[in-house]
Amino acid sequence: MKAVKVENLSKQYSIGVSRAPYATLRDSIAGFANAPLKLFRRNKRASDSTIWALKDVSFEINRGELVGIIGRNGAGKSTLLKVLSRITEPTRGGVDIFGRVGSLLEVGTGFHPELTGRENIYLNGAILGMKRQEIERKFDEIVAFAEVQKFIDTPVKRFSSGMYLRLAFAVAAHLEPEILLVDEVLAVGDNNFQKKCLGKMEEMSSGGRTVLFVSHNMPAVLRLCNRVILLDQGQLLADGSPQQVTRQYLSSSTGSQAERVWPSAEIAPGDTVARLRSIRVCDKAGKTIEATDIRQDFRIEVEYWNLQRRLRPSVLLIFTNEDGVCLFQSNDFNNNVWADTRREPGLVRSVCKLPGNFFSEGRVLVTVGIGTYNPNLLHAIERDAVAFQIFDRSEGDGVRGEYVGEWPGVIRPMLDWEINTKAGNPTASSYQEESLHT
């Protein structure tokens, strides 16, 4: 049975349009006289001031499916969920929704800031068409899941972003929507709560409800979803099994490159504690590289703005292969001196040094986060921020030596070996009595 049907869906936005200031009577009269000329100029510029966030997207989702929606920033993922949630109208095409929809698209959506947490739970339930008795039956479960018992009668405008997010997800997931739409809001917040949310979505899908999950977290997509849709520049690029589609995404030009730079703080990932500035894959000389010989040392360089003195931000790197398998993670507090250094506001450069003969061949993606600990808080994260390619030329002094066939494994370290020999011919007694161990 169908839950969602999308047919030739397109959404166009105007860009670079600013509001005109209030006009005087003289301005209005002059404007009336110049109206034909302005209309001509407006029509001439129309094609230059619009962008297609979605273009001719079509797919169907059956009841009970847990579908991941992936793609680079600007691919149209969030716009798609906003259209499905009826927050925005499509420019053309159609959407049919068969069931009650709950959505968590971005922090702040769906709550009235002046109302308390309790009042917002009832308000959201009423919007979903639920009776008061139904909401009351779920109320305690929602509050317990969100862990906001002490603040449930406080206006949500006084909530921290973490409290707001926890309550918003709890409401969206527990008020029995038949279709749940979740954007990448789970990328910010407490790690334990993220796991809790992912488990809840898995539980909903196994119970026959439909979940659409926008994420850059490939391991989560691979673990949770039974189907993945890939968007690129507003168009549907692939729709199929999670392994096949995520591999296409990670290995194509829609995936990450070797450098990311945010030109302004307004668009950089982060909060009032820290904001990312740049991430690079580079060689020992500092040159940006997209690929490296398996034998060469190289580095991941992260620059971020520390915006305060009280906490001790640290850089976290998570390395993932093309199959979405987490290879390992590392944190700059492994530098003991830096771990104990007082943090001052300003630009910080943190460099992770990676040895040669460590990674196996293939493409590796790096997720970058900035966090503080005890309590564990994630202040900035960029999933699959950069990527690099490891290649092995098999020239005799690498791990594989002269062997040119497939060499399995997710890592390929050059390990120390010790070999001893003893001259002589074997006899029956030597097999039992002699040994190279002394």
- In three-state secondary structure terms, 324 is coil
CATH number for 272: 2.70.50.60
Query: Are 93 and 149 in the same domain?
Result: yes
Contact 280, 380 (CB under 8 A): no
Question: Which helix or strand (DSSP H or E) is residue 102 part of?
Answer: strand 101-104
Per-residue pLDDT of the chain (438 residues; tens, 9 = 90+): 899 999 999 999 886 554 445 444 455 555 555 555 454 454 544 445 788 999 999 999 999 999 999 988 778 998 999 899 888 899 999 999 998 888 877 655 668 889 999 998 998 888 767 788 888 998 999 999 888 899 999 998 888 877 888 888 888 788 778 898 988 766 555 667 777 887 888 888 888 889 998 987 776 787 788 899 999 989 999 999 988 888 788 766 555 578 999 888 778 899 999 999 999 999 999 999 888 888 899 999 999 999 998 899 999 999 998 778 889 999 999 998 988 888 899 999 999 999 999 998 888 999 999 999 888 889 999 988 999 988 876 566 777 776 766 777 888 888 888 777 777 776 666 656 666 665
Count Cβ atoms below 10 Å from residue 383 Cβ, excluding itself. Answer: 22
Question: Is there a domain that residue 122 lies in?
Answer: yes
How many whole angstroms separate alpha carbon 182 and alpha carbon 170? 12
Where does a domain end: 192, 222, 251? 251
The last residue of a domain, from among 224, 251, 278 = 251
Task: State the CATH number of the domain containing residue 93.
Answer: 3.40.50.300
pLDDT of residue 186: 61
Dihedral over Cα of 223, 3, 105, 237: its sign: positive
19 plus 104 within the same structural domain: yes
Same domain, 327 and 234: no
Predicted pLDDT of residue 25: 46
Which of 199, 231, 251 is where one domain is finished? 251
The residue range of the domain holding 324 is 259-391
**Helices 132-146 and 117-127: angle between axes, nearest 10 degrees:** 130
pLDDT value at position 248? 83
Residue 424 in 3-state DSSP? coil
pLDDT of residue 358: 93
Whether the bond between 355 and the residue before it is cis, its omega within 30 degrees of 0, is no
* 300 domain residue, yes or no: yes
The residues near 265 (Cβ < 8 Å, ≥ 6 apart) are 275, 305
Domain count, the chain: 2
**Residue 232, in any domain of the structure:** yes
Same domain, 284 and 240: no
Do 207 and 329 share a domain, yes or no? Answer: no
The candidate with the shortest Cα–Cα distance to 185, out of 205, 159, 162, is: 162
Rounded Cα distance, 278 and 91, in Å: 36
247 and 264 part of one domain: no
DSSP per-residue letters across 345-394: SEEEEEEEEE-SS-BPSEEEEEEEEEEETTTTEEEEEEEEEEEEEEE---
Which residues in 331-368 are b (16+ Cβ under 10 Å) and which e?
Answer: bbbeeeeeeeeebeeeebebebebebbbbbbbbbbbbb
Domain-located, residue 413: no
Query: Do both 216 and 286 map to the same domain?
Result: no
Does residue 312 lie in a domain region? Answer: yes
Same domain, 156 and 223: yes
Q: Which helix (H) or strand (E) holds 292?
A: strand 291-293
- Are residue 237 and residue 173 in the same domain, yes or no? yes
